[in-house]
Structure formats: structure tokens, C-alpha cells
Amino acid sequence: MSKVLILYYSAFGYVGILAKAIADGARSAGAVADIKRVAEMLPDATASDRIFDPMQDDPIALIQDLAHYDAIIVGSPTRYGRLSSPIAAFLEQATEQLGQDVLSGKVGGAFTSPTSAQGGQETASMSLVINLLHLGMIVVGPPFSVTTIADAAGQRYPSELDLDIARQQGTLIARTAQKLKGPGSVLRRKDPAGRDAVK
């Protein structure tokens, strides 16, 4: 079975809700799906303004975690049409993994949450996708990504359609990862000398 990581940062909680729906979809395809969040960079006073806090039990991700999955789906709120600073800072730590070729060939996907219908979700999704491609990953999913519109006033919850599309993305990426992994294969990574090391 494939191992899928749903990695996200969520300011108001909307991205965290999508992460759980994506994980449900991946698990429905027989995958092991873990949800991890990127640590908060904003002051505590800002972080406490979350409307939904479904991520409170999700562990903080370490950059070394990425090597242990067949697929990585990254979620971020939109920031001026691009990915958020916490996600950008986290992915910038992947230099060693890039140099050791441990992420190349893994399946990737993206999901976002703007605060309006014109919130830049397409360009934010593409900024995430560009990062994944640069790491050598194979991006799978809709033309851009799964998305839900956030509401800073807390008057909107992700719709059932939003969540259904998120589950579909999780299922598709898990199945694709399993196809690429093949029956009976093992997850491989590179050791510091660049040799294959079986986990």
C-alpha cells in the first residue's frame, strides 16, 4: 500500500479541514495517510484568531518526514496569489533532500484556500506545484488544485462539494502512488552517500 503525507499550514482552519477530507479519500483507496502541519510563524495573538481549529491534534512536520512517503500533498492559504510564508519556509529546507534525490519520483499534489473568489487560488496552487516540480515530484490532480473559500468572519464552512473534491484528490493521488510504487515494492530513499537505503 502507498503512504501519503498531507502537509499543510492553516491560518483560519479551512486548509486543515480540507486536509482531513483529502486523508479520508486517500484511506478509502487503501493508503496509509498521515496529516502533519507546518509550525506557526505568526505571533500567538494572530494564531489565536483561528475560526476553526481542526489541526490542534495534528503533529508538527519535520523536513526529514518527506523522505518516508510515496506521495506528498501540500496545502496552504493564499497570500497575494502565492503560497504562504510558513509553507515556503518549510519547503526551502528541502535542499538536502533535493541534493540526495530522495523526493524525485514521488507523487505530489496541492490544495489552497483563498479568502475570496478572486483570492488567487490558481496562482497560489501553481506556486505550490512549481515547488513540487522543482523537487522532482510527479504532480497529479485537477488543473490547479482542491480549494475552498475561507471567510475571516467565520460565516462560511467548506461546502460538501469542496470536501467531496478533496476526497477525490486524496483517492486519485493515493492510487497513482500505488501504481508507481508497484506490487511488492519497497519505499527507497538515499543515504548520505547517495546509495539506496531501504526504509
Q: Read off the pLDDT of residues 108-147 as tens digits, 9 standing for 90 and up.
A: 999 998 877 777 788 889 999 999 999 999 999 866 678 8
- CA–CA dist 10, 16 (Å, integer): 6
Q: What is the mean pLDDT of residues 168-189?
A: 81
Q: What is the mean pLDDT of residues 150-160?
A: 79
- CA–CA dist 54, 10 (Å, integer): 10
**Considering the entire predicted model, what is its pTM?**
0.85
Q: What is the mean pLDDT of residues 18-40?
A: 96
Residue 63: which pLDDT band, with cuts at 50, 70 and 90? very high
pLDDT digits (tens, 9 = 90+) for 81-108: 889 999 999 999 998 888 888 899 999 9
Residue 55: which pLDDT band, with cuts at 50, 70 and 90? low
Residue 54 pLDDT > 70 = no
Which domains does the chain carry? Answer: 3-198 (3.40.50.360)
